[in-house]
Amino acid sequence: MKKIPDHIAVIMDGNGRWARQRGMPRIEGHRRGAASLKEAVKTCAEIGVKYLTVYAFSTENWNRPDAEVSFLMTLFSQTIDREVEELNKNNVRLNFLGQLDRFSPDLQKKMKASMEKLAKNTGLTLNVMVNYGGRAELVDAVKKIVARGVEAKGLREEDISENLYTAGMPDPDLLVRTASEMRVSNFLLWQIAYAEIYVTDVLWPDFRREAMLDAIEAYGKRERKFGKTSEQLNDT
Ligand code: IPE
Ligand code: IPE
Ligand code: MG
Protein backbone atom coordinates (compact mmCIF):
# COMPACT_ATOMS: atom_id res chain seq x y z
CA MET A 1 0.00 0.00 0.00
CA LYS A 2 1.47 3.33 -0.99
CA LYS A 3 0.01 6.22 0.96
CA ILE A 4 -0.35 5.55 4.67
CA PRO A 5 -1.90 8.39 6.69
CA ASP A 6 0.24 9.58 9.61
CA HIS A 7 -2.85 10.28 11.69
CA ILE A 8 -6.20 8.48 11.58
CA ALA A 9 -9.17 9.67 13.64
CA VAL A 10 -12.15 7.36 14.14
CA ILE A 11 -15.71 7.98 15.28
CA MET A 12 -16.46 4.47 16.53
CA ASP A 13 -20.22 4.29 15.97
CA GLY A 14 -22.86 1.59 15.62
CA ASN A 15 -22.33 -0.54 18.72
CA GLY A 16 -25.99 -0.25 19.71
CA ARG A 17 -27.23 -1.14 16.23
CA TRP A 18 -24.87 -4.12 16.07
CA ALA A 19 -26.38 -5.46 19.28
CA ARG A 20 -29.97 -4.69 18.30
CA GLN A 21 -29.56 -6.58 15.03
CA ARG A 22 -28.70 -9.64 17.11
CA GLY A 23 -31.39 -9.16 19.75
CA MET A 24 -28.73 -8.41 22.36
CA PRO A 25 -28.56 -5.54 24.88
CA ARG A 26 -26.62 -2.47 23.69
CA ILE A 27 -23.80 -3.15 26.11
CA GLU A 28 -22.85 -6.29 24.16
CA GLY A 29 -22.14 -4.02 21.22
CA HIS A 30 -19.82 -1.92 23.38
CA ARG A 31 -18.06 -5.04 24.66
CA ARG A 32 -17.46 -6.25 21.14
CA GLY A 33 -16.46 -2.72 20.11
CA ALA A 34 -13.56 -2.88 22.56
CA ALA A 35 -12.22 -5.86 20.60
CA SER A 36 -12.43 -3.83 17.38
CA LEU A 37 -10.37 -1.09 19.00
CA LYS A 38 -7.73 -3.60 20.00
CA GLU A 39 -7.53 -4.79 16.41
CA ALA A 40 -7.45 -1.23 15.03
CA VAL A 41 -4.47 -0.42 17.25
CA LYS A 42 -2.66 -3.55 16.12
CA THR A 43 -3.33 -2.90 12.43
CA CYS A 44 -2.30 0.75 12.62
CA ALA A 45 0.88 -0.04 14.55
CA GLU A 46 1.85 -2.72 12.02
CA ILE A 47 1.44 -0.60 8.92
CA GLY A 48 3.18 2.47 10.30
CA VAL A 49 0.37 4.86 11.20
CA LYS A 50 1.83 7.25 13.79
CA TYR A 51 -1.31 8.52 15.54
CA LEU A 52 -4.69 6.87 16.06
CA THR A 53 -7.33 9.05 17.74
CA VAL A 54 -10.59 7.39 18.70
CA TYR A 55 -13.84 8.85 20.01
CA ALA A 56 -14.82 6.68 22.97
CA PHE A 57 -17.19 8.93 24.96
CA SER A 58 -18.52 12.37 24.06
CA THR A 59 -19.61 15.19 26.34
CA GLU A 60 -23.11 14.43 24.99
CA ASN A 61 -22.97 10.71 25.85
CA TRP A 62 -23.77 11.51 29.52
CA ASN A 63 -27.35 11.89 28.26
CA ARG A 64 -27.65 8.13 27.73
CA PRO A 65 -29.47 5.87 30.23
CA ASP A 66 -27.59 5.62 33.54
CA ALA A 67 -27.09 1.87 33.18
CA GLU A 68 -25.38 2.28 29.80
CA VAL A 69 -23.12 5.10 31.04
CA SER A 70 -22.14 3.08 34.05
CA PHE A 71 -21.43 0.00 31.92
CA LEU A 72 -19.15 2.10 29.72
CA MET A 73 -17.24 3.37 32.77
CA THR A 74 -16.72 -0.23 33.90
CA LEU A 75 -15.66 -1.23 30.40
CA PHE A 76 -13.05 1.57 30.26
CA SER A 77 -11.66 0.46 33.58
CA GLN A 78 -11.55 -3.25 32.64
CA THR A 79 -10.06 -2.55 29.24
CA ILE A 80 -7.23 -0.55 30.82
CA ASP A 81 -6.54 -3.43 33.22
CA ARG A 82 -6.55 -5.98 30.43
CA GLU A 83 -4.70 -4.16 27.70
CA VAL A 84 -2.00 -1.94 29.19
CA GLU A 85 0.63 -4.70 29.33
CA GLU A 86 0.17 -5.62 25.69
CA LEU A 87 0.09 -2.00 24.56
CA ASN A 88 3.38 -1.57 26.38
CA LYS A 89 4.89 -4.61 24.68
CA ASN A 90 3.82 -3.16 21.34
CA ASN A 91 5.56 0.15 22.14
CA VAL A 92 2.27 2.10 22.05
CA ARG A 93 1.99 5.48 23.76
CA LEU A 94 -1.42 6.17 25.30
CA ASN A 95 -3.30 9.40 25.99
CA PHE A 96 -6.76 9.78 27.49
CA LEU A 97 -7.85 13.22 26.30
CA GLY A 98 -10.94 15.15 27.37
CA GLN A 99 -12.23 16.61 30.63
CA LEU A 100 -11.09 13.71 32.79
CA ASP A 101 -12.18 15.36 36.07
CA ARG A 102 -15.78 14.31 35.45
CA PHE A 103 -14.82 10.63 35.93
CA SER A 104 -14.68 8.83 39.27
CA PRO A 105 -11.41 9.31 41.19
CA ASP A 106 -10.60 5.62 40.71
CA LEU A 107 -11.03 5.74 36.95
CA GLN A 108 -9.04 8.99 36.71
CA LYS A 109 -6.22 7.39 38.68
CA LYS A 110 -6.23 4.36 36.41
CA MET A 111 -6.20 6.49 33.28
CA LYS A 112 -3.31 8.60 34.56
CA ALA A 113 -1.30 5.59 35.72
CA SER A 114 -1.67 3.86 32.35
CA MET A 115 -0.61 7.02 30.49
CA GLU A 116 2.47 7.36 32.69
CA LYS A 117 3.38 3.74 32.25
CA LEU A 118 3.36 4.02 28.46
CA ALA A 119 4.68 7.58 28.20
CA LYS A 120 8.20 6.62 27.14
CA ASN A 121 7.11 4.37 24.27
CA THR A 122 8.02 5.47 20.79
CA GLY A 123 5.62 3.58 18.49
CA LEU A 124 2.01 4.37 17.66
CA THR A 125 0.37 7.10 19.75
CA LEU A 126 -3.18 6.10 20.72
CA ASN A 127 -5.42 8.98 21.79
CA VAL A 128 -8.62 7.81 23.46
CA MET A 129 -11.03 10.74 23.60
CA VAL A 130 -13.23 10.51 26.68
CA ASN A 131 -15.70 13.06 28.00
CA TYR A 132 -14.49 14.82 24.90
CA GLY A 133 -16.23 17.57 22.98
CA GLY A 134 -14.65 19.68 20.27
CA ARG A 135 -16.35 22.80 21.59
CA ALA A 136 -15.31 22.11 25.19
CA GLU A 137 -11.74 21.62 23.95
CA LEU A 138 -11.80 24.98 22.18
CA VAL A 139 -13.18 26.71 25.28
CA ASP A 140 -10.41 25.10 27.35
CA ALA A 141 -7.83 26.30 24.82
CA VAL A 142 -9.16 29.88 24.91
CA LYS A 143 -9.08 29.83 28.72
CA LYS A 144 -5.40 28.85 28.66
CA ILE A 145 -4.58 31.52 26.09
CA VAL A 146 -6.40 34.24 28.04
CA ALA A 147 -4.71 33.13 31.26
CA ARG A 148 -1.33 33.52 29.55
CA GLY A 149 -2.24 37.09 28.72
CA VAL A 150 -1.86 36.75 24.94
CA GLU A 151 -3.00 39.97 23.28
CA ALA A 152 -5.88 39.75 20.81
CA LYS A 153 -4.00 41.38 17.96
CA GLY A 154 -1.08 38.95 18.20
CA LEU A 155 -3.24 35.82 18.29
CA ARG A 156 -2.22 33.21 15.68
CA GLU A 157 -3.72 29.88 14.58
CA GLU A 158 -0.77 28.15 16.28
CA ASP A 159 -1.85 29.63 19.62
CA ILE A 160 -5.08 27.65 19.30
CA SER A 161 -3.43 24.43 18.04
CA GLU A 162 -0.80 24.51 20.78
CA ASN A 163 -3.43 24.76 23.50
CA LEU A 164 -5.69 21.92 22.37
CA TYR A 165 -5.54 18.51 24.07
CA THR A 166 -3.73 17.32 20.92
CA ALA A 167 -0.96 19.95 21.21
CA GLY A 168 2.18 18.96 19.35
CA MET A 169 0.48 16.32 17.20
CA PRO A 170 -0.20 16.62 13.47
CA ASP A 171 -3.84 17.05 12.41
CA PRO A 172 -5.68 13.89 11.29
CA ASP A 173 -5.22 13.06 7.61
CA LEU A 174 -8.17 10.70 7.56
CA LEU A 175 -11.41 10.80 9.56
CA VAL A 176 -13.30 7.50 9.56
CA ARG A 177 -16.89 7.22 10.76
CA THR A 178 -18.50 3.81 10.99
CA ALA A 179 -22.23 3.00 10.89
CA SER A 180 -23.17 5.33 8.02
CA GLU A 181 -23.77 8.56 9.91
CA MET A 182 -22.81 11.68 7.92
CA ARG A 183 -21.98 13.94 10.83
CA VAL A 184 -19.09 15.06 12.96
CA SER A 185 -20.84 14.91 16.38
CA ASN A 186 -18.54 17.47 18.05
CA PHE A 187 -15.32 15.54 17.30
CA LEU A 188 -11.99 17.33 16.71
CA LEU A 189 -13.66 20.41 15.25
CA TRP A 190 -10.43 22.36 14.82
CA GLN A 191 -8.14 19.49 13.87
CA ILE A 192 -10.22 18.00 11.03
CA ALA A 193 -10.15 21.22 8.98
CA TYR A 194 -8.47 19.37 6.07
CA ALA A 195 -9.02 15.70 6.93
CA GLU A 196 -10.27 13.35 4.24
CA ILE A 197 -13.63 11.97 5.42
CA TYR A 198 -14.52 8.30 4.98
CA VAL A 199 -17.93 7.01 6.06
CA THR A 200 -18.63 3.28 5.96
CA ASP A 201 -21.79 1.21 6.53
CA VAL A 202 -19.76 -1.24 8.61
CA LEU A 203 -20.77 -1.07 12.28
CA TRP A 204 -17.89 -0.52 14.71
CA PRO A 205 -18.04 -4.03 16.26
CA ASP A 206 -17.56 -5.47 12.74
CA PHE A 207 -14.83 -2.98 11.78
CA ARG A 208 -11.78 -5.25 11.67
CA ARG A 209 -8.41 -5.30 9.91
CA GLU A 210 -9.80 -5.50 6.35
CA ALA A 211 -12.20 -2.62 6.97
CA MET A 212 -9.34 -0.43 8.23
CA LEU A 213 -7.23 -1.35 5.20
CA ASP A 214 -10.19 -0.46 2.92
CA ALA A 215 -10.42 2.98 4.55
CA ILE A 216 -6.68 3.53 4.09
CA GLU A 217 -6.86 2.41 0.49
CA ALA A 218 -9.70 4.84 -0.21
CA TYR A 219 -7.62 7.57 1.41
CA GLY A 220 -4.71 6.71 -0.89
CA LYS A 221 -6.88 7.50 -3.91
CA ARG A 222 -7.96 10.91 -2.73
CA GLU A 223 -6.46 14.05 -4.19
CA ARG A 224 -5.62 16.41 -1.33
CA LYS A 225 -5.68 19.85 -2.84
CA PHE A 226 -5.40 22.23 0.12
CA GLY A 227 -7.03 24.95 -1.91
CA LYS A 228 -4.93 24.47 -5.03
CA THR A 229 -6.04 23.35 -8.49
CA SER A 230 -5.48 19.82 -9.80
CA GLU A 231 -3.24 21.30 -12.53
CA GLN A 232 -0.96 22.86 -9.95
CA LEU A 233 -0.69 19.55 -8.10
CA ASN A 234 0.10 17.61 -11.28
CA ASP A 235 2.88 20.05 -12.21
CA THR A 236 4.93 19.26 -9.12
C1 IPE B 1 -20.83 4.15 19.63
O2 IPE B 1 -21.91 3.29 19.37
C3 IPE B 1 -20.31 4.01 21.04
C4 IPE B 1 -20.50 5.20 21.89
C5 IPE B 1 -21.05 6.33 21.52
C6 IPE B 1 -20.01 5.11 23.26
P7 IPE B 1 -23.40 3.70 19.70
O8 IPE B 1 -23.71 3.23 21.09
O9 IPE B 1 -23.61 5.15 19.47
O10 IPE B 1 -24.20 2.85 18.64
P11 IPE B 1 -25.55 3.25 17.90
O12 IPE B 1 -25.32 4.56 17.22
O13 IPE B 1 -26.62 3.34 18.95
O14 IPE B 1 -25.77 2.14 16.93
C1 IPE C 1 -20.34 9.86 18.68
O2 IPE C 1 -21.28 8.86 18.52
C3 IPE C 1 -19.60 9.67 19.96
C4 IPE C 1 -18.74 8.48 20.04
C5 IPE C 1 -18.50 7.66 19.06
C6 IPE C 1 -18.11 8.26 21.31
P7 IPE C 1 -22.81 9.09 18.93
O8 IPE C 1 -23.53 7.85 18.58
O9 IPE C 1 -22.91 9.53 20.35
O10 IPE C 1 -23.20 10.31 17.98
P11 IPE C 1 -24.63 10.90 17.60
O12 IPE C 1 -25.28 11.32 18.87
O13 IPE C 1 -25.39 9.81 16.91
O14 IPE C 1 -24.33 12.04 16.68
MG1 MG D 1 -24.21 6.18 17.82
Which tens digits make up the pLDDT trace of 207-219?
Answer: 999 999 999 999 9
Q: Bridge-partner residues for 74, per DSSP?
A: none
Ligand 1: nearest atom to the Cα of 61:
5
pLDDT at 75 over 70: yes
Q: Is 121 a catalytic residue?
A: no
Ligand 2: nearest atom to the Cα of 132:
6
Using CA atoms, how far residue 59 sits from 19, 55, 120, 135, 167, in Å, is 23, 11, 29, 10, 20
pLDDT in tens, 47-72: 999 999 999 999 999 999 999 999 99
Q: Pick the catalytic residue from 6, 61, 88, 90.
A: 61
Residues lining ligand 1, CB < 6 A? 12-17, 57, 61, 72, 179
Protein residue closest via CA to atom 2 of ligand 2: 13
Q: Is 13 a catalytic residue?
A: yes
Closest CA to 143 of 167, 158, 164: 164
At residue 1, the pLDDT reads 54
At residue 6, the pLDDT reads 98
Protein residue closest via CA to atom 7 of ligand 2: 13
What structural domains and CATH numbers belong to the chain? Answer: 7-235 (3.40.1180.10)
**Cα-to-centroid distance, 13 and ligand 3 (Å):** 5
At residue 235, the pLDDT reads 87
Protein residue closest via CA to atom 12 of ligand 2: 185
Closest CA to 136 of 61, 189, 72: 189
pLDDT in tens, 167-206: 999 999 999 999 999 999 999 999 999 999 999 999 999 9
Closest CA to 213 of 183, 181, 176, 173: 176
How much is the mean pLDDT over the chain?
Answer: 97
**Cα-to-centroid distance, 152 and ligand 1 (Å):** 40
CA dist., res. 125 & res. 195, Å (int): 18
**Cα-to-centroid distance, 12 and ligand 3 (Å):** 8
**Inter-residue contact 91 to 122 (CB < 8 Å):** yes
**Cα-to-centroid distance, 13 and ligand 2 (Å):** 6
